[in-house]
Structure 1
């Protein structure tokens, strides 16, 4: 399987983990405190360069629930930007 499709599967998985905070009331909000920095680190490592840097900042802000953005699938949106909009074929 090509690297870009592995990244897509991981992105969907990690976005799913991020959405779990909606499923478990109260505990979900606590999990965001742990998941926000973890997701920022993961997206930084998964997507090198500018996409990883910007994605990590957006992911942290989104998962921390700032500005009501906790519902955004940041990992998947980063993948779409890299491979669909930007059409990066290098990986």
Structure 2
């Protein structure tokens, strides 16, 4: 998957998190699912850490506004130091 396709998917997944503002019980399904998806999109230790953050962010009320997937994309492709 190219990095720009991953960015588009990240934006879409972050938008899915906003569904809970209209239908709050959606968080019970979305929080663990978003964590699982995060581990599949971003491998390694960073992906696991991002998955935990994503789960907590989606599970707690009013934190859904944080675009976790997009922030992880930015970290991975823009801000992460190159070896």
Question: RMSD across aligned C-alpha pairs, in angstroms?
Answer: 1.5
Normalising by structure 2, we get a TM-score of 0.89
The question of 1:53 aligning with 2:44 is answered no
Normalising by structure 1, we get a TM-score of 0.82
The question of 1:40 aligning with 2:39 is answered no
Moved over 2 A (4+): none
**Gaps spanning 5+ residues in structure 2: where?**
none
**Gaps spanning 5+ residues in structure 1: where?**
none
Mapping 1:56-67, distance limit 5 Å:
56-65=51-60
- Which is higher, the Rg of structure 1 or of structure 2? 1
Mapping 1:1-91, distance limit 5 Å:
3-22=2-21, 24=22, 28-65=23-60, 68-86=62-80
State the 1:6 CA deviation: 1.1
Q: Between Structure 1 and Structure 2, how many residues are aligned?
A: 82
